[in-house]
Amino acid sequence: MSRIVVVASHRRSGTHLVLDSLRRNVRDVQHRFMTLERIEPTHERHLPIAEFDRRLRSQRGIVLVKAHALPGAGVWRTPEAEAYASEILAEAPTIYVHRDGRDVLVSLYRFVSSYSPRVAAQSFAEFLRSNHTGIDAAGISRPAYWQRHVMAWLDRGPTTLASYERLQDDFEVSLRAIAERLDLALRPTLNAVRLQPRRRRIPVLDRALRILLPASSTAIRPQAGRIGGWHQVFDDADLAFFELQAAAAMRRLGYPASSGGT
């Protein structure tokens, strides 16, 4: 019988840094994690709920389940998916991964630009002010959605938080704190996971590397992952807009306010 641990976050917040850190350093963690959004019929790699649950329950040890959706009602496209997601979130301890919202949105812009011609044609300022289009919060700005995501998960009360910045700056202390909160057994020697540089993705090769080198990063088209990279992208007007939309979440997470533009 498997033990489930949910790793939840807004996209581009360090989800895979946490997943890979746990895969590399926690005993009994399954190498392959599962993605909760695959139960959605519209997901490109959709799994029927019964098959998803069979795969989840048939594994031994600790199974990591990644989730980007908001918690709560009204965020799934079918009642069946909503009921199943609620069951998993009620059953399993949760790690909520967070990162400075300004760095999150810069990373999201670069990531979405890599596959969306429409976004690639936008400036960062246009992207920042455009609306989130997901079913969970359509019609609000991207910073406002980031704030809603943070507040909803914090209000729900995750088992523990994982800071992208702390994992980068003080990996061992941060990982030990996460493991203690979830009663996870760490390996004797801890090894930090480094984000891989960008390269052309070759699916067959990537799958082989994930089998042969389980400690490698699973992040999708990772950037350099620099902390504070938003300083080179935001101007004063962008910062003012971001703070109008998301200052409460920044304060709640303990991030400092912006001190000015580029």
Amino acid at 210: R
Q: What is the pLDDT of residues 216-251, one digit of tens each?
A: 556 544 455 689 999 999 999 999 999 999 999 999
Interatomic CA distance for residues 1 and 124, integer angstroms: 46
Please tell me whether residue 187 adopts helix, strand or coil conformation: coil
First to last CA, the chain: 52
Average pLDDT, the chain: 89
**Using only C-alpha atoms, what is the Rg of the chain?**
18
Domain coordinates in residue numbering, the chain: 2-253
Check whether 30 has a pLDDT greater than 90.
yes
Amino acid at 53: D
pLDDT of res. 225: 67
pLDDT of res. 99: 98
Pick the residue with more confidence: 206 or 50? 50
Give me the percent of the chain exceeding a pLDDT of 90: 79
Give me the percent of the chain exceeding a pLDDT of 70: 86
pLDDT of res. 261: 45
Q: What is the pLDDT of residues 193-205, one digit of tens each?
A: 876 555 555 656 5
The model's confidence at residue 259, banded by pLDDT at 50, 70 and 90, is low
Instruction: Kindly report the CATH number that applies to the domain delimited by 2-253.
Output: 3.40.50.300
pLDDT of res. 73: 82
Pick the residue with more confidence: 196 or 172? 172
Rounded to an integer, the average pLDDT of 171-190 is: 97
Give the number of C-alpha atoms closer than 13 A to the C-alpha of residue 245, restricted to the C-beta side. 24
Alpha helices in 158-255 (DSSP H): 164-169, 171-182, 203-212, 236-253
Q: What is the pLDDT of residues 63-98, one digit of tens each?
A: 999 999 999 888 999 999 999 999 999 999 999 999
Please tell me whether residue 152 adopts helix, strand or coil conformation: helix
pLDDT of res. 161: 98
